[in-house]
């Protein structure tokens, strides 16, 4: 079994490669995991193109929802995007917060940070910033954010408890998050769990939906809501990289399911301190 450090390095390497790929290549795989489908499948992504702030050059097709659509961002808000990639969610958030607000994207892949900074410079945005860092130790001041968003990223992080604890720390009292992520019901086949490419592709790093929601509550958040939920179906030609035809049939006929969910939760306005 890989250590947390080994998993992080695997994800870093894979997403460094993805930063250099075009959107079509990324969409034809499982969340950018590799060129393993003969057709273009939008397995997880939602269509951003009708949202104000959408930037085609920053859309790598790696998301699994539209967290900014549900994030209730107001003019002047400070918004933090965890796992900001090439910056698309940040630019959509910037359209909501306006010039009076600020958007900070955090990503631990240097190639993604470089791409995002180039995109921001090309757009002439001076209130969108990208910082290199690990979202288990978010490089943002305590109680500085009004809103936190994230799109298909927490499932890649081995220690999700630490991430939710950090989100709680950086949010102002009364602040909230809207996060799109991948969760499971039932058990994935062990071969998929062990596949490195599927880990970097957002599936085998996902945890049980019930456990995911419990982590949010354990870390002190209130008013938990599932804003959107959809089934994720992985095409057979991708599954064939990991399972034989009989195993695919057994998997599809079983109770295991893969879902994209968008979750909202709030830090209490009267909170006295951040949970340890």
Domain contains 145: yes
Residue 122 has a CB neighbour count (10 Å cut-off) of 11
Domain contains 178: yes
Query: Which of 27-36, 85-94, 100-109 is modeled with the greatest confidence?
Result: 100-109
Domain contains 22: yes
Domain contains 273: no
CATH of the domain at 31: 3.40.50.150
The pLDDT assigned to 273 comes to: 55
- State the pairing for strand pair 78-82/102-107: parallel
- Please name the residues in contact with 253: beta carbons below 8 A apart, sequence gap of 6 or more: none
pLDDT band at 234 (very low <50, low <70, confident <90, very high): confident
Host domain of residue 150? 4-266
Match 């306005």 to its residue by tokens: 269
Q: Report yes or no: 150 and 262 within 8 Å, Cβ to Cβ.
A: no
pLDDT band at 262 (very low <50, low <70, confident <90, very high): very high
**Mean pLDDT score, 177-194:** 87
| Whole-number Cα distances in Å, 67 to 39, 200, 260 | 27, 20, 11
The pLDDT assigned to 199 comes to: 56
Number of domains in the chain: 1
On the question of pLDDT at 251 being above 90, the answer is no
Domain contains 275: no
């Amino acid at each position: 079994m890989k250590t947390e450090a080994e998993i992080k390095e695997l994800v870093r390497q894979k997403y460094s490669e993805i930063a250099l790929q075009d959107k079509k290549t990324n969409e034809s795989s499982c969340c950018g995991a590799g060129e393993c489908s003969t057709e273009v499948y939008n397995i997880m992504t939602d269509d951003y193109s009708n949202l104000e702030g959408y930037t085609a050059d920053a859309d790598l097709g790696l998301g699994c929802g539209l967290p900014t659509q549900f994030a209730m961002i107001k003019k002047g808000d400070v918004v933090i995007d965890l796992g900001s990639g090439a910056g698309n969610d940040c630019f959509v958030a910037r359209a909501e917060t306006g010039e009076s607000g600020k958007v900070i994207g955090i990503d631990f892949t240097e190639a993604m940070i470089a791409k995002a900074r180039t995109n921001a410079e090309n757009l002439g945005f001076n209130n969108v910033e990208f910082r290199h860092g690990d979202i288990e130790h978010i490089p943002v001041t305590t109680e500085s954010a009004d809103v936190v968003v994230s799109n298909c990223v927490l499932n890649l992080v081995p220690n999700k408890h630490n991430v939710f604890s950090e989100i709680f720390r950086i949010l102002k009292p009364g602040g909230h998050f809207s996060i799109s992520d991948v969760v499971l019901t039932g058990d994935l086949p062990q071969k998929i769990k062990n596949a490195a490419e599927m880990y970097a592709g957002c599936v085998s790093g996902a945890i049980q939906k019930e456990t995911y929601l419990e982590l949010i509550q354990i870390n002190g958040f209130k008013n938990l809501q599932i804003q959107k939920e959809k089934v994720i179906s992985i095409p057979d030609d991708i599954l064939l990289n990991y399972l034989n035809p009989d195993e695919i049939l057994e998997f599809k006929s079983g109770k295991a399911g893969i879902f994209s969910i968008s979750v909202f939760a709030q830090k209490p306005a009267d909170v006295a301190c951040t949970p340890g």
